Amino acid sequence: MKQKQYLSAGEVAKALGVSVKTIQRWDKAGLITVVRTAHNQRRIPVSELARIIRGAGQERCVIYARVWGARQEQAGNLERQTERLQAAVRARGYQLVETIAERASSLNEQRRGMKKLFSLIESQAVDVVLIEYPDRLVRFGFPYLVQAFSWRGVRLEALEAPENLEPAAELVADLLLIVTVFSGRMDGQRAKSIQKCMTSRIQECLQEAEALDGTN
């Protein structure tokens, strides 16, 4: 018989001797890893139940901090970000096992820090990954990472939820990030010229779209 990989909230509550409402509160507080079915029902990985049962000891935590450019790093942004995460680790009672801090684009698939993080997860050396904002780790697809980490029994926590932008503002931010990253691969003035031109054109197109929307 194939072993179950996920349990209902009721099954976990029974195994732990708590109420289903307690499981729901833990979920809302981000204290337990939960995935949702297509019908929005809670399912808890078996590995998460094992972690809680074991959980008299401290959870092992890795913090991941990232800035985009040298100017941010020189201004001390990376150091301050790391300090905030370390303070959160102490406040939450975690055991800090690794601090990963790097300067890289969120679209860079070859980040050394990310590779190190994946290696720690693969070797089961971590229970919690703590970041400041979701986009410190990835710009796109954050919910997929949350689910993928949970399959390894690892909880991904962010100190602050992603900012809810208007669709147009979010589109601008994403397009400008892509333009910045790819123009950064070019040389000097040509890159700056292309970036400036593309940024201006993106903003013009969005303004035109807003104007057309206002006439409808």
What pTM, to 2 d.p., does this model score?
0.56
The answer to whether 65 touches 100, Cβ cutoff 8 Å, is: yes
pLDDT category at 84 given cuts 50, 70, 90 is very high
pLDDT of 152 > 60? The answer is yes
Q: Which residues on neighbouring strands pair with residue 62, listed in sequence order?
A: 98, 129
Q: How far apart are CA 165 and CA 174, in angstroms?
A: 11
- Residue 203 lies in domain: 167-215
Q: What is the mean pLDDT of the chain?
A: 79
Count: domains in the chain? 3
Secondary structure in 3-state letters for the chain: CCCCCEEEHHHHHHHHCCCHHHHHHHHHCCCCCCEECCCCCEEEEHHHHHHHHHCCCCCEEEEEEEECCHHHHHCCHHHHHHHHHHHHHHHHCCEEEEEEEEECCCCCCCCHHHHHHHHHHHCCCCCEEEECCHHHHCCCCHHHHHHHHHHCCCEEEECCCCCCCCHHHHHHHHHHHHHHHHHCCCCHHHHHHHHHHHHHHHHHHHHHHHHHHHHC
What mean pLDDT comes out for the span 90-109?
A: 85
Has residue 136 been placed in a domain? yes
pLDDT category at 1 given cuts 50, 70, 90 is very low
**Domain identity same for 68 and 41:** no
CATH number of the CATH domain containing 86: 3.40.50.1390
| 19/124: higher pLDDT | 19
**Domain identity same for 83 and 108:** yes
Least confident piece of the model among 123-127, 132-136, 162-166: 162-166
The predicted-structure confidence for 12-44, as pLDDT tens digits, reads as follows 888 777 889 989 998 988 888 899 998 999 999
**Domain identity same for 70 and 48:** no
**Domain identity same for 204 and 152:** no
pLDDT at 160: 83
Has residue 1 been placed in a domain? no
Q: How far apart are CA 19 and CA 198, in angstroms?
A: 55
The predicted-structure confidence for 72-83, as pLDDT tens digits, reads as follows 888 899 999 999
What mean pLDDT comes out for the span 73-96?
A: 90
